Amino acid sequence: MLTLETLHIDLDGFTLDADFSVETGRRVAVLGPSGAGKSTLLAAIAGFQPVSGRVLWDETDLTPLPPAQRPVTMIFQDNNLFPHLTAAQNVGLGLRPDLRLSRDDKARVDEALTRVGLGGLGTRKPAALSGGQAARVALARAVLRHKPVMLLDEPFGALGPALRDEMLGLVRTLADEVGATLLMVSHEPEDAKAIAHEVVLVADGRAHAPVPTAEIFANPPAALRDYLGREG
Amino acid sequence: MARGLFSVTRTTGAGATALALVLFLALGTLVAVALRAEGAGAFTVADLAALRFTLVQATLSAALSIALAIPVGRALARRSFPGRGVLVMLLGAPFILPVIVAVFGLISVFGRSGLVSQALLALGLEPISIYGFHGVVLAHVFFNLPLATRLVLQGWLAIPAERFRLAASLGFTARDIARQLERPMLREVLPGAFLVIFLLCLTSFAVALALGGGPRATTIELAIYQAFRLDFDLGKAALLALVQFALGAAVALIALRVALPPGFGAGLDRAVSRWDANTPMLRALDAALITLATLFLVLPMTMIAVDGLPALATLPASVFTATARSLGVALASVILTLALALPIAAWSVKSGSRLVEGVGTLTIAASPLVIGTGLFIILFPITDPFALALPVTALVNAVMSLPFALRALVPALGQVEADFGRLADGLGMTGTARLRHLWLPRLARPLGFTAGLSAALSMGDLGVIALFASPDAPTLPLQIYRLLSAYRMDDAAGAALILLVTSLALFWVFDKGGRVNADA
């Protein structure tokens, strides 16, 4: 269970508070107007953002841990791949940050690439991959890292609708396989409906406790109605 | 941000060590100098003359460079013609041109038996001499007119194209444009450009060594050298070194208050469309200006090739051993530059402090002669400083390249960390893994550029080596200086050509090396 305990973030006058838990294995969409602090919330969980209060995984306090030691893997909006490394090397970083990969490690990298549908493309560099393929490489690495919490910060924002649905389906399958707890920032309500059990609404300086997806769209609170506009 | 939270202690340690070494060289040597200077006598008339000459030549050189750069820069800004790109690139060349090579080229054009004098003789006029005050100023203008032109050109191209279109639609004449657009820009650009050039002329030793001298054309740095090499009066050398440092520091302090122009402007390869300057008169004027500036720049370089090529076959072996020695110094200097610059840049980016970078840049005001004097005073009681001439030269050259290295590396590393820092943190890439798999590959370009620059600067350096060198182990620039002093002009020409080609080749190889296999 991921717990945010009286979490408070202060960024030069911009503040964000959160105080809730997410059950293990749940897929959660983080929705809200732009600039409300969705990405900041994920950064705090991942360890990139100094906070007061605590971030807990089960009984363990993550707050003092640097990002790499948290049971968390994150996929960013962009710059998920190092352009000077091949797809396989980019995935391999998930096993060993110094890239001293054993034969066994390399086999696991190939397997992960095949798993996301990129078998045989390991030697390509990111410049030779399409946007969707690059997103798959990032997913392969996340799977290989095998961390119980997966954070996705609008990772498919630059993809077209069809490709986006395809990637969401893949995320859903992979997260289920690993049994990961997933938090995904999006500004597309459709994304939430597609894969999320629950929705965390970030608005007015507060990340609200998760509400079941069907429920929140059936009866949207004021902040969500404003955000959804006509659609609400 | 989180960068400060989990700062890598090894980065801090390495950065602090490198910075401490730089501070020791820039300021620690100064303490040694100050302690040694106490026993020295008062200022002599000759010393005051040197101070006056230093200031006057630097002021005049900077003023002339700027005054000429304005029309040339304007001509380049508003004309596009074939070869313009090459010319703009050439304007960057004097920066990595060995001073002694340029001096040789200038002597071939403006010297007593040079092209200009021969033309004057043919017209029945007196030949001109390049030695002394006007020779020093001429050489400084040769080096700094291109720099000033680039800075001014940058200012012109920074004026948005829309302004010129607006001006054209409002019917502005060239005069209106000068008043409304160009003069405000020049008021911004010129003070910084003047200061940079003034500072460069203040600390330019080799030009004064080769073309100056005597009671009426001796700079402070030349006086340090003479106190050192001719009189072996360390107290006097130390006193003069203090004066030189005070001058440099004073100018650097003023410079802090004036916005200095960025070093290497990119994107100078386009001309501004102008509708006001299409009169035949202005076109002819610009064409003449560009031609004259090109001749001034290219003729001395051509003369080195013309004079040097026939001499290559008969060069004494000492020139080639000196070349090998210089190459060794240059490569050692490259390694030292990177070993100093990378940790300082990393610390600067990690701590987000401009101070670290600022201290690293302190050396731009420091004089290699002063550092050399200090090192000599420190080393003299311990060991034979002359035996250490080459390592000391490599080290001081590395420190002198540091400001340029930091200017190239710090913004680039900042960008790398902004783009990939979190990803690397999240994956636990620290220490050598981060260095090998993130920094070195992402910084290949600025690292190649830095290495090329420091190699070329060190290859052509004629500063500390002149203080320290023993007679039997000169570097190539020093060897050329000795050949020039002995009036062995043919050998000097051949050696100058070798030095020119080696310096440019070093820069090219390293800079190119950084671009190989670059992924978007």
Cβ–Cβ gap B433/A50 under 8 Å: no
Mean pLDDT of chain B: 85
Q: Compare B267 and B55 and report the one with higher pLDDT.
A: B55
Cβ–Cβ gap B423/A47 under 8 Å: no
Cβ–Cβ gap A47/B520 under 8 Å: no
B130 contacts: CB under 8 Å, gap ≥ 6: B106, B107, B110, B111, B112, B114, B138, B211
Smallest Cβ–Cβ distance between B429 and the set A43, A49, A93 belongs to A93
Q: How far is CA B325 from the centre of its chain?
A: 22
Which band of pLDDT confidence, cut at 50, 70 and 90, is reported for residue B520?
A: very low
* Residues of chain A contacting B412 with CB distance shorter than 8 Å: none
Residue A130 burial class via C-beta count within 10 angstroms: exposed 0-12, middle 13-18, buried 19 and up? exposed
The arithmetic mean of pLDDT across residues B216-237, rounded, is 87
Q: Searching chain B, which residue's CA lies closest to the CA of residue A98? A: B433
Return the number of other C-beta atoms located less than 10 Å from residue A31's C-beta.
27
Q: Is the pLDDT of residue B169 over 60?
A: yes
- Taking CA B259 as the corner, what is the angle to CA B255 and CA B264, rounded to the nearest 5 degrees? 100
B43-300 folds as MetI-like fold (1.10.3720)
Domain boundaries, chain B: 1-39+311-520, 43-300
B263: left (phi over 0), alpha (psi -120 to 50) or beta: alpha
pLDDT (0 to 100) of residue B8: 53
Residue B265 · residue B150 · CB < 8 Å: yes
pLDDT (0 to 100) of residue A107: 95
Of B212, B317, B197, B217, nearest in space to B261 by CA: B197
pLDDT (0 to 100) of residue B2: 39
**Contact status of B382 with chain A (Cβ, < 8 Å):** no
* Residues of chain B contacting A98 with CB distance shorter than 8 Å: 429, 432-433, 436-437
Of B324, B305, B248, nearest in space to B30 by CA: B248
* Residues of chain A contacting B5 with CB distance shorter than 8 Å: 50, 66
Cβ–Cβ gap B430/A97 under 8 Å: yes
* Residues of chain A contacting B519 with CB distance shorter than 8 Å: 83-84, 125-127
% pLDDT > 90, chain B? 34
Cβ–Cβ gap B437/A99 under 8 Å: yes
The arithmetic mean of pLDDT across residues B183-191, rounded, is 88
Percent of residues in chain A assigned helix, strand, coil, to nearest 5: 40, 25, 35
Q: For chain B, give the number of residues.
A: 520
* Residue given tokens 């009426």 in the structure block: B216
Matching fold, domains B1-39+311-520 and B43-300: yes
**Contact status of B422 with chain A (Cβ, < 8 Å):** yes
pLDDT, tens digit (0-9, with 9 covering 90-100), for B356-401? 667 666 776 778 888 888 888 888 888 888 888 899 999 999 998 9
* Residues of chain A contacting B423 with CB distance shorter than 8 Å: 76, 79-80, 82
pLDDT (0 to 100) of residue B6: 43
Determine the Cα–Cα distance for residues B457 and B17; give it in Å rounded to an integer. 24
* Residues of chain A contacting B514 with CB distance shorter than 8 Å: none
Window A:88-107, CB contacts with B under 8 Å: 89, 93-94, 97-99
- Taking CA B457 as the corner, what is the angle to CA B455 and CA B462, rounded to the nearest 5 degrees? 125
**Residuewise pLDDT in 10s, chain A (232 residues):** 999 999 999 988 899 999 999 999 999 999 988 888 999 999 999 998 889 999 999 989 999 998 888 999 999 888 888 888 899 999 999 898 888 899 999 999 999 999 899 989 999 999 999 988 999 999 999 989 889 999 999 888 778 888 888 889 999 999 998 899 999 998 788 889 989 999 999 998 999 999 999 999 998 888 888 888 754 3
Determine the Cα–Cα distance for residues B475 and B471; give it in Å rounded to an integer. 10
Cβ–Cβ gap A80/B423 under 8 Å: yes
pLDDT (0 to 100) of residue B260: 59
Determine the Cα–Cα distance for residues A90 and A88; give it in Å rounded to an integer. 5
B417 to chain A, minimum CA–CA distance in Å?
Answer: 11
Cβ–Cβ gap A47/B2 under 8 Å: yes
Cβ–Cβ gap A46/B420 under 8 Å: no
* Residue given tokens 């959660």 in the structure block: A28
Interface test with A, best of B350, B417, B420, B427 (most A CBs within 10 A): B427
Q: Is the pLDDT of residue B265 over 70?
A: no
- Consecutive H or E run containing B446: helix B444-459
B407 to chain A, minimum CA–CA distance in Å?
Answer: 23
CA B58, B64, B68, B74 torsion-angle sign = positive
Report the amino acid identity of residue B352: G
Smallest Cβ–Cβ distance between B420 and the set A47, A82, A127 belongs to A82
pLDDT, tens digit (0-9, with 9 covering 90-100), for B115-155? 888 888 888 888 888 888 989 999 999 999 999 999 899 88
B12 to chain A, minimum CA–CA distance in Å?
Answer: 17
Q: Is the pLDDT of residue B101 over 60?
A: yes
The DSSP string of B275-300 is SS--SHHHHHHHHHHHHHHHHHHHHH
Residue B100 has which token pair?
A: 């002694």
- Consecutive H or E run containing B377: helix B368-379
Question: What's the count of helices (H) and strands (E) in chain B, helices before strands?
Answer: 25, 0
Cβ–Cβ gap B423/A46 under 8 Å: no
Of B253, B464, B234, nearest in space to B367 by CA: B464
Determine the Cα–Cα distance for residues B64 and B58; give it in Å rounded to an integer. 10
Cβ–Cβ gap B437/A79 under 8 Å: no
Cβ–Cβ gap A73/B441 under 8 Å: no
* Residues of chain B contacting A85 with CB distance shorter than 8 Å: 437, 441
Cβ–Cβ gap A66/B520 under 8 Å: no
Cβ–Cβ gap A127/B520 under 8 Å: yes
* Residue given tokens 């992979």 in the structure block: A174
pLDDT (0 to 100) of residue B7: 47
pLDDT, tens digit (0-9, with 9 covering 90-100), for B19-76? 888 888 888 888 888 887 776 667 788 888 999 999 999 999 999 999 999 999 999 9
Residue B116 · residue B299 · CB < 8 Å: no
Q: Which residues of B156-167 are buried (b: 16+ CB within 10 A; e: fewer)?
A: bbebeeeebeeb
The arithmetic mean of pLDDT across residues B149-177, rounded, is 81
Cβ–Cβ gap A84/B423 under 8 Å: no
Counting one residue from chain A and one from chain B, the pairs whose CB atoms sit within 8 A come to: 78
Determine the Cα–Cα distance for residues B415 and B421; give it in Å rounded to an integer. 9
Determine the Cα–Cα distance for residues B273 and B79; give it in Å rounded to an integer. 8
Q: Searching chain A, which residue's CA lies closest to the CA of residue B8? A: A66
B83: left (phi over 0), alpha (psi -120 to 50) or beta: left
Determine the Cα–Cα distance for residues A97 and B428; give it in Å rounded to an integer. 6
pLDDT, tens digit (0-9, with 9 covering 90-100), for B421-473? 999 998 988 888 898 899 999 999 999 999 999 999 999 999 888 888 877 88
Residue A161 · residue A184 · CB < 8 Å: no
Determine the Cα–Cα distance for residues A74 and B51; give it in Å rounded to an integer. 63
A222 to chain B, minimum CA–CA distance in Å?
Answer: 32
Has domain B1-39+311-520 been given CATH number 1.10.238.10? no
Report the amino acid identity of residue A226: D
* Residues of chain B contacting A82 with CB distance shorter than 8 Å: 420, 423, 437-438, 441-442
φ/ψ (deg, to 5) at A175: -60, -40
Determine the Cα–Cα distance for residues B8 and B2; give it in Å rounded to an integer. 12
